[in-house]
Amino acid sequence: MDKKVKQEIKTEETETKQLTINSLESLGPYILEQDNAKNFVYVSDVPQLCKDEPCMLGVDEAGRGPVLGRLSGVLLPNMFGNNELVFLSGPMVYGIAFCPLSKKDVLKQLGFADSKQLTEEKRDQIFDEMNRKDYAVESLGWAVEAISPNVISMSMLRRTKHSLNEVSMDSAIGLINAAIEAGVNIAEVYVDTVGPPEKYQAKLKAIFPKFKITVAKKADSTYPIVSAASIAAKVTRDHALKVWKFRERPNEEVNSFGSGYPGDPTTKQFLGEIDLVFGFPRLVRFSWSTASNALEKKAYDMEFEEEPDEKATQKATYGSEKLSKYFSASKNENRKRHEYFRDRCLEHVSEI
C-alpha cells in the first residue's frame, strides 16, 4: 500500500480514537475539542444486547437552574447594590441512558441513585465504572447533548421566543431519536419532568406512540435508569466547566471563576469584573434578568446616530453612561485599553 495512504488511514484512526469516551479520563479531552459556543451531541457505543432485547431508557438534565447544578448560580450580596443571583451556568446538559429490561441488576450493581445526593467524587467513580467495567459496557449505553449558554441565550432573546422548557424538550426528543437511529430497541421511557408532567408525557406519547412513557417529578430518585442519565449529564457538565475555554479572555487561567459559591472570593472577583463594553463572557447566560440587571448598573449605554422613535425611547437601556465615554477618557485617568483594541493596534483618532 502507498505510504501516504497508510499515513492518512493511521491519522483517521487516531482522530476517531480521540473522539471516543471510554472512561472518566477521556471525557475532559473530548469536551476540550468541542466548540463551547455551539451544542454538541455524544452517543456511546451501543451494546449488542440493547439492539437485541427490549430496553428501558431514562432522560434527565444538569445545569438547568440555580439549584440543579454545581455551578449554576451564585448569590452576590451588595456587589451590584443589592442581592443578585448571577448565573455562572456554562452549558445545560441533557443525558439519556439505556439498558435491557432484563439487566436491572446492572443498574443496582453500579449504585445508581439520585445524582444530587451523591458527591462529585462518587458521580465520577460511577461514570468511570459504567464506561470501563465489562458487565456495564456489555449492557448499558448513554448519550448527552451539551447545550451552549450562548445558544440558550439566543433562543430566549430571538424575535420568536424559544423558552428554556422548549429547549429542554427539544433536546430530550433529539436524544431519544438519536438512540433509535443508533439501533436501541426501546420499549420503556422514563423522564424527569420539565413543567407539568401530564402535558410533557402526552407530548412525548404523541411523538413516540409505540413506547411506554412515564414522565414524573424527581424521576432520578425513583427510577435507576433516570439516575444513570442524570450522572452522565452531570459529570459531563462538571467537566465541561473544568476545561472551559474563554474566547473573550484567551490568557485566562483554567477555572479562574473559582468554585461558584457565594463565599468564594475568586468567584466574586470574576463576576465583578464586567467589561464595560462587552459585558460578561459567554460562560454567563446573558438572557437571564439577573445578568441584564448587572449590565444595566455597570456597562456603557449604546449611542446611535439615528433619532429613536417614541417607542424606543420608552424602552429600558443598559446603564446611565454613554459608550462614547469609553473613547474619551480624561487625560488624568490612567486606564488600560481593552485587549481587543491592543491586539489589533487600533488607535483613537479625532481627525481623518
**CA–CA distance, 82 with 75 (Å, rounded to integer):** 10
Residue 264 counted as an annotated binding residue: no
Residue 35 counted as an annotated binding residue: no
Residue 45 counted as an annotated binding residue: no
CA 39 to chain CA centroid, nearest Å: 8
Side chain identity at 269, as an amino acid letter? Q
Cell reading at 340: 481587543
3-state secondary structure of 145: strand
Q: Regarding beta strands 141-147 and 212-216, do their DSSP bridges make them parallel or antiparallel, or are they unpaired? A: unpaired
Cell reading at 119: 458527591
**CA–CA distance, 183 with 124 (Å, rounded to integer):** 27
CA 1 to chain CA centroid, nearest Å: 45
**CA–CA distance, 298 with 337 (Å, rounded to integer):** 17
Query: Strand pairing partners for 8?
Result: none
H or E stretch including 342?
helix 339-343
203-230: burial string, b at 16+ Cβ within 10 Å, e else? bbeeebeebebbbbeebbbebbbbbbbb
Q: Regarding beta strands 92-100 and 186-192, do their DSSP bridges make them parallel or antiparallel, or are they unpaired? A: unpaired
Put residue 3 in one of left, alpha, beta given phi > 0 → left and psi -120 to 50 → alpha: alpha
DSSP state of 322: B
Q: Regarding beta strands 141-147 and 40-43, do their DSSP bridges make them parallel or antiparallel, or are they unpaired? A: antiparallel
**CA–CA distance, 250 with 33 (Å, rounded to integer):** 16
Q: How many residues does the chain have?
A: 352
3-state secondary structure of 309: coil
As annotated, the binding site for a divalent metal cation includes 60-61, 192
As annotated, the binding site includes 60-61, 192
